[in-house]
Chains A and B, each alone.
Chain A
Amino acid sequence: MMSPPKKDNVFRALDRKLGAVAEFTMRQYRTKLSTWVILGVGFIAIFIVVLFYVDSMQQEIEAIDNDGDSADWDGDGYPTGQERIYGTDPNNPDSHPGTFTPPIAPDAPEKWINEDDFDWDLSARGDTTAGYDDDGDCRLADSTQSQKDNNRNNVECDIVLDYNEMRGEWSEPNSDKLVDEDPDEEKYAKEAIHRAFLLAIGKMGFVFLLGIFLPLFLATGLIREEMDNSTIHFMLAKPIARRDIFLGRIVGYLGIVWPYIIGMGTIVGIISGFAGPGDGFFRFADLGMWMAIIFATMLATLVYGMLFCALGTLWKRGIILALPFAAWELGMAILSFGAPSASILRFSVIGWSLNIIDAASLVVWPNMGLFISMGMWGGGAYNSDFWGGTQLEGAAALNAFASDTGLGISPIATIVVSTLVLLFQAAVLWLVGSAIFKGKEIE
């Protein structure tokens, strides 16, 4: 009376039990107010940061005359830098290039601000020299050889960059006097803030905040709430293995969380791509970073989802069990900024997830370390700012959020290894969680 059942392909098969559980879970989330509250809070939190990022990108950063040569100390109308180039005495009002024949017109002081920007080959690694004296005040003809070569590397007017393999970082640049001493703050700061923002929002915003709190609030109750509401009875009385219920619930949860993360990442990525500094109208190079951030967050939500769902299954107050984990992961996240190679990080989830982002940042911005030390050096201490440092704006923030991968292997390998480890963690937690669920007596 009935046609023989169609042969099941994978899709028809998935359309049944597992698919049904996953679809059910997604629809359940959609109808819950708390889901939207949590997702909305995440959205608002991320977007407040984005707002400030965009604002800071629009802001003018005041150009500082780091070496003080735009000032006209003697009041003859010629900035110090111009006088120095022409060999007149900057402190003598009677000595200025206007006395030359033909007289040389005085430069506008602005010309002597940010006039000696960085000229570093950022692909360098190991002992190398860089830098070019754009304004020519180092290469003055009347300077002696030793004046031109303070760092005694037998190259006039250069900067020695020394990469310390042991510590894995660049040591303080050893510069000849008056080389690259008046960098363009705005150019550096925007780039640095942009990078710092990407790293900060990727690591703290996405991987930590979204990656832990979304699972904490959404996944802990996946099984537990059903058990508490005793609605699980309906599902358990059907021919579906509890392991599959567990998996189906997680898949449904990911069906809500992953699109959310991808959407958020894409939107923030596009905004930052347009708003970010650079010559082009869009920073295509950063897309790699955003892919890494989204990918790392997806993996983090997967692993934490499994973990918190298992904890929720284990005990009625699973969220109490989950909170110490969240605290531990926060500690690990903070630790990873300072000591990315600490072996204790290998026992966390966030350590591996952040590794992916760090590795991606090294791929996208290959000379991150040099870039940071450039900003920390900031042109030498000739005209220190108010606090006595020469650090450029943004360098400290970038320094705080950037870190090495910590595995000691190439960035691509780091991404692969971290991904595999996270997937392995997820699989183990799935087995553990479904074993707990399977052995649970439910009244």
Chain B
Amino acid sequence: MERERIIQTQGLSKFYGPHMALENLNLDIKKGATGLLGPNGAGKSTFLKTILGLIQATSGEGTVLGHDIRTEGAAIRSRIGYMPEYDALNPDMDAINQVRYSGELLGMNPIVALQRAHASLQYVGLGEQRYREIKSFSTGMKQATKLACAIIHDPELIIADEPSNGLDSTAREFMIDTLINTVKQGDRSVLMASHLMDDVERVCDEIVLLHKGKLAAQGRIEDLKAIDREIEIHVWGGASKLEAAMIKRGMRVRREGRVMRIAHESEELTSEILLCASQVGAQIRRMHEYEASLEDLFLVIMENLGYDVKSSEDLFKHPIHARKVDAPGHMGGGAS
């Protein structure tokens, strides 16, 4: 079943002087939840601003919900709900009034806006706190208020910029649940930009990965994930011996502290691992098939683009001047 497309762009480019923020972007985002990923500075903000119709693309065209992004910015903005990354709330207002006002700014009449403000605050879990001033809110409650502002007019598309950033686990869980619920039960679309891959993976089915203004990957998360099967074990005591024993038996082992991953090649692998463990007396606290996460996917894609994870060796490759002057000599400082 072909789902309807909500965002489409063809050859979208945006230059800031010589600096290229977006380059020839051909995107096709369908109804449902989509994650907008990319390393820092990949052009996500520029992309969001472009599809909101707030800045003009240098070249290329696109539609959002059937509206042309170049000419119908206002129409787009009245049909989507945008949840900005940074604080966008007046700290001296009550949550209910802030949300109501955000509805009125869309053209709702005040009575309807008030009803909808109650409903949306209820929905984002701020039913009890809606008469409190926003400055007394925690980060999680502020994020929820921002979401309530975004969904007050029941938009077809919700653009959430880092919705779960900076939240503690309770608030984060709730924010994610709310977004999932919005997609599943409310049948709305969510475009979610986030660096927290776990959250994206939970909410979204598809991702778009931008890098340096170009499209690096797009598609369903499941399709994109490599099917490199591995067994992950958590060892308690005797990890090195176990590792040695397993390598001796010809297994391919990667190890990070107490966590080891073994390439899943034979059907008997689990039994062999346990055998090794019983021989060296190591405890296997956990053992399960390791499923690649979105984060792995991201890293693989970035690695293909020539960026890798660095280690402390890179940090200490060069001589460090700081040692010379850091502290009094008797503290071990002074000369290195």
Binding site for B on A (CB under 8 A): 1-2, 4-5, 239
Contacts and interface: CB of A to CB of B under 8 A. Distances in A.
Nearest to B327: A239
12 contacts: A1-B319, A1-B336, A2-B319, A2-B321, A2-B324, A2-B335, A2-B336, A4-B335, A5-B324, A5-B325, A5-B335, A239-B327
Q: Provide the main secondary structure of the chain A interface.
A: loop
Interface in B303-331: 319, 321, 324-325, 327
Q: Which of A2, A4, A239 has the most chain B CB atoms inside 10 A of its CB?
A: A2
A398 B230 CA distance: 94
What 6 A-B pairs come out closest when comparing CB atoms? A5-B324, A2-B336, A4-B335, A2-B319, A2-B324, A1-B319
Contacts of B335: 2, 4-5
A5 B324 CA distance: 7
A1 B335 CA distance: 10
A241 to B, nearest CB: 15
A1 B336 CA distance: 8
Contacts of B324: 2, 5
Of the listed residues B319, B321, B324, B327, the one surrounded by the most CB atoms of chain A closer than 10 A to its CB is: B324
A4 B323 CA distance: 12
A5 to B, nearest CB: 5
A340 B325 CA distance: 54
A13 to B, nearest CB: 11
A1 B319 CA distance: 9
A5 B336 CA distance: 10
A4 B327 CA distance: 15
Contacts, number: 12
A4 B336 CA distance: 9
Interface residues of B, number: 7
A239 B321 CA distance: 16
Contacts of A1: 319, 336
A320 B327 CA distance: 41
Contacts of B336: 1-2
A22 to B, nearest CB: 19
B158 to A, nearest CB: 31
A375 B9 CA distance: 83
Contacts of A239: 327
Contacts of A2: 319, 321, 324, 335-336
Nearest to B325: A5
Given A2-B324, A239-B327, 9 more contacts: A1-B319, A1-B336, A2-B319, A2-B321, A2-B335, A4-B335, A5-B324, A5-B325, A5-B335
Nearest to A5: B324
A424 B183 CA distance: 70
Contacts of A4: 335
B278 to A, nearest CB: 49
B199 to A, nearest CB: 27
A4 B321 CA distance: 11
A9 to B, nearest CB: 15
Contacts of B327: 239
B38 to A, nearest CB: 28
A327 B327 CA distance: 47
B86 to A, nearest CB: 14
A275 B327 CA distance: 60
A196 B324 CA distance: 60
Contacts of A5: 324-325, 335
A329 B319 CA distance: 55
A331 B321 CA distance: 55
Nearest to A16: B325
A239 B327 CA distance: 9
A382 B325 CA distance: 83
B284 to A, nearest CB: 43
A217 to B, nearest CB: 26
Contacts of B321: 2
A261 to B, nearest CB: 36
Contacts of B325: 5
B26 to A, nearest CB: 39
Interface string B4-17: 00000000000000
Nearest to B321: A2
A20 to B, nearest CB: 13
A239 to B, nearest CB: 8
A442 B149 CA distance: 33
Contacts of B319: 1-2
Interface string B21-42: 0000000000000000000000
- Point out which of A4, A5, A239 has the most chain B C-beta atoms below 10 A from its C-beta: A5
A240 B327 CA distance: 12
A2 B325 CA distance: 12
A1 B320 CA distance: 11
A82 to B, nearest CB: 81
A239 B322 CA distance: 13
A380 B325 CA distance: 78
A251 B191 CA distance: 50
A5 B325 CA distance: 8
A2 B334 CA distance: 11
